[in-house]
Amino acid sequence: MNQNALSGKVALVTGAGRGIGRSIALALAREGARVALAARTPAQLLDTQRAIEAFGQEAASFPTDVSDEGSVVALVRDTVAHFGRLDMVINNAGIGLFGPLESTRVETWDRVMAVNARGAFLVCREAIPHLRRQRPSFIVNIASVVAVKGYANQSAYSASKHAVLGMSKALARELQADGIRVHVICPGGVDTDMAGQARPDLDRSVLMSPDEIADAVLFLVTRDGKAVIDQIDLRRESATPWA
Ligand SMILES: NC(=O)c1ccc[n+]([C@@H]2O[C@H](COP(=O)([O-])OP(=O)(O)OC[C@H]3O[C@@H](n4cnc5c(N)ncnc54)[C@H](OP(=O)(O)O)[C@@H]3O)[C@@H](O)[C@H]2O)c1
């Protein structure tokens, strides 16, 4: 990869206030991208923004609830107004609410679907007209290993990530002729607040680092060539081989 491979590019990262999204935003900025940062908590966004500005790159914070249509419309509109273009979106914002299906409330099911699936859909829909103006441009959706496997007590979360994977597969073909590359990354356990909540039984030191997911994003948005990469699965080395 060239030094500053993303100079002149603008990236929008959702869920950029902490965890995987923060790592992705920092990695893209280190490669020269100007970065729009979205999540609900302004203080966390500002913290990521300051960390990017500390190494001389430009970032801007846009407090957003990705489950809310008006909020996402404003996010994409304000990002393009601020930076003048949009080259890539990383749909990373997500929540995990866990428990047995038989005691899952409708509100819980709907909230998980609204943030994880509807949120990614809305950001894609609003970004596509702007991405179409750049070639190549990118959508990278962060799904999960639960998009391809099932785990007990994760049915709502798993359903929402299957939705993200299905949408991404269809969209990759829908946008191919426009030069918009759509990728989905399916990570296993990553050392963040969410992983601590989902798998309190796990020693967090065995989990992947958020920077490893950011590396995969960087690979996808900086590569040339004719190969189409629909999906990258990242599983942790410490998981039992049969799990
Ligand atoms: N950690 C793992 O093991 C793992 C594995 C596979 C996939 N993933 C996926 O990776 C993504 C990031 O997870 P993480 O582990 O980094 O979680 P995290 O540390 O909890 O961070 C989640 C980020 O998403 C934001 N977010 C949540 N709800 C939002 C909403 N309604 N609107 C806008 N932003 C919202 C959060 O900010 P606010 O709360 O301030 O809004 C936060 O910045 C998620 O999609 C998750 O499903 C995680």
What are the pLDDT digits (tens) for 99-133? 999 999 999 999 999 999 999 999 999 999 999 99
Q: How many Å lie between the centroid of ligand 1 and the Cα of residue 177?
A: 31
pLDDT at 8 over 70: yes
pLDDT at 1 over 50: no
Angle at 171 between CA 150 and CA 218, to 5 degrees: 80
User: Which is the closest atom of ligand 1 to the Cα of 41?
Assistant: 40
CB atoms within 10 A of CB 58: 15
Chain mean position to CA 159: 17
pLDDT of residue 201: 84
Q: How many Å lie between the centroid of ligand 1 and the Cα of residue 95?
A: 5
pLDDT at 235 over 60: yes
Sheet holding 180-187, edge to edge: 59-63, 34-39, 10-14, 88-91, 137-142, 180-187, 231-234
> What is d(CA 50, CA 28) in angstroms, rounded to the nearest whole number?
15
pLDDT of residue 196: 86
CB atoms within 10 A of CB 154: 23
Q: How many Å lie between the centroid of ligand 1 and the Cα of residue 54?
A: 24
For residue 26, give both structure tokens. 């920092």
pLDDT of residue 107: 98
User: Which is the closest atom of ligand 1 to the Cα of 114?
Assistant: 31
pLDDT of residue 200: 84
Residues acting as catalytic residues = 157
Which residue has the CA at smallest separation from atom 34 of ligand 1?
Answer: 39
Q: What percent of the chain has pLDDT over 90?
A: 90
**Higher per-residue confidence, 3 vs 209:** 209
* Whether CATH 3.40.50.720 fits 10-234: yes
pLDDT at 49 over 70: yes
**Higher per-residue confidence, 237 vs 10:** 10
The shares of helix, strand and coil residues in the chain, as percent rounded to the nearest 5, are 50, 15, 35
| Tens-digit pLDDT profile for residues 166-185 | 999 999 999 999 999 999 99
> What is d(CA 86, CA 221) in angstroms, rounded to the nearest whole number?
13
pLDDT at 2 over 60: no
- pTM to 2 decimals? 0.97
Q: Buried b vs exposed e over 105-139: b needs ≥16 C-beta within 10 Å? A: eeeebebbbbbbbbbbbbbbebbbebbeebeebbb
Please state the three-class secondary structure of 85-149 as a single string.
CCCEEEECCCCCCCCCHHHCCHHHHHHHHHHHHHHHHHHHHHHHHHHCCCCCEEEEEECCHHHCC
pLDDT of residue 135: 94
The mean pLDDT value for 9-37 works out to 98
The mean pLDDT value for 125-154 works out to 97
Ligand 1: which residues within 6 Å by Cβ? 14-15, 17-21, 39-41, 44, 64-67, 92-96, 115, 142, 144, 187, 189-190, 192-195
